[in-house]
Structure 1
Amino acid sequence: MDIKEDSRKEYIARINRVMDFVGQNIDQTIDLARMAKIASFSPYHFHRIFLYVVGETPNDFILRIKLEKSGQLLHDNPKESVSDIAFKCGFVNISSFSRAFRNYFGMTTTEFRNQDKAVYVKNGIRYSKNCKAVSKIGKHPQQISPQFCSVEFKQLIIMDTKIEIKQMPELNLIYCRHMGAFNQIGQAYEKLFKWAAPRGLVTAATKTVTVYHDDPAITTINKVRQDASILIEGDVKVEGEIGKSTVPAGKYAVGHFEIKETEFEQAWNTMCAWLTESGYQPADSPTYEYYHNDYNEHPEHKFIVDICIPVKPL
Structure 2
Amino acid sequence: MNLKQLSRQEYTTRINRVMDYIRLHLDKSFDLATLAGVASFSPYHFHRIFTAMVGETPNNFVSRIKLEKAAQLLHNNPKASVSDVAFLCGFVNISSFSRAFKSHFNMTTTEFRNQDKPIYIKNGIRYSKDCKAVSKIGKNYQQINAQFYSVELNTLIIMDTKIEIRQMPQLNLIYCRHTGAFNKIGQAYEKLFKWAIPRGLVNPGTRTVTVYQDDPAVTSIDKVRQDASIIVDGNIKVDGEIGKLNIPSGKYAVGRFKIKETEFEEAWNTMCAWLTESGCQPADSPTYEYYHNDYSENPEHRFIADICIPIKPL
Residue 261 of structure 2 is matched in structure 1 by: 261
Deviations 1:120-172 (A, max 9, x none): 00000100001111112435334144465354x42453310000000000000
Deviation at 1:268, TM superposition (A): 0.1
Residue matched to 1:311: 311
Aligned partner of 2:84 in structure 1 is 84
Contact 1:133/1:144, CA 8 A, preserved across alignment: no
1:275 and 1:281 in contact (8 A); partners too = yes
| Letter matched to residue 51 of structure 2 | L
Structure 2 residue aligned with 1:128: 128
Take 1:53 and 1:89, find their aligned partners in 2: how far apart are those partners? 24
Secondary structure class of the residue paired with 2:4? helix
Note the residue ranges of structure 2 that are not aligned, 5 or more in a row. Answer: none
Aligned to 1:67: 67
Alpha-carbon distance between aligned partners in 1 of 2:131 and 2:217, rounded to the nearest angstrom: 15
SS across alignment from 1:197: helix
Amino acid at match of 2:34: R
- 8 Å Cα contact 1:133-1:141 kept in structure 2: no
Indicate conservation of the 8 Å contact 2:192/2:242, yes or no: yes
Equivalent residue, structure 2, for 1:149 = 150
d(CA) in 2 for partners of 1:116, 1:138: 12
Say whether the 8 Å CA contact 2:122–2:156 is kept in structure 1: no
Cα 1:14–1:71, aligned 2, differ >3 Å: closer, same or farther?
same
**One-letter amino acid matched to 1:257:** F
**SS at the partner of 1:56?**
coil
Query: Deviations for 1:269-291, whole angstroms, at most 9, x for unmatched residues?
Result: 00000000000000000000000
Distance in 2 between the 1:194 and 1:62 partners?
32
TM-score (norm 2): 0.97
Question: 2:100 matched to which residue of 1?
Answer: 100
How many pairs align? 313
Distance 1:272 1:234, change over 3 A: same
Give 5+ residue unaligned stretches, structure 1: none
TM-score, structure 1 length as denominator?
0.97
Q: Deviation string for 1:54-84 (max 9, x for gaps)?
A: 0000010000000000000000001110000
Q: Check the 8 A contact 2:132/2:149 in 1, yes or no.
A: no
Find the counterpart in structure 2 of residue 240 from structure 1: 240
Q: What letter is aligned with 1:299?
A: P
User: 1:28, CA displacement in angstroms?
Assistant: 0.4
- The answer to whether the 8 Å contact 2:86/2:94 transfers is yes
Contact 2:157-2:273 at 8 Å conserved across structures: no
| RMSD (Å) for aligned C-alpha atoms | 1.1
CA contact (8 A) 2:208 2:231 kept: yes
Q: Residues 177 and 226 of structure 1 are in contact (CA less than 8 Å); yes or no, is this contact kept in structure 2?
A: yes
Q: Which residue matches 2:141? A: 140
Determine if contact 2:82/2:109 at 8 Å carries over to the other structure. yes
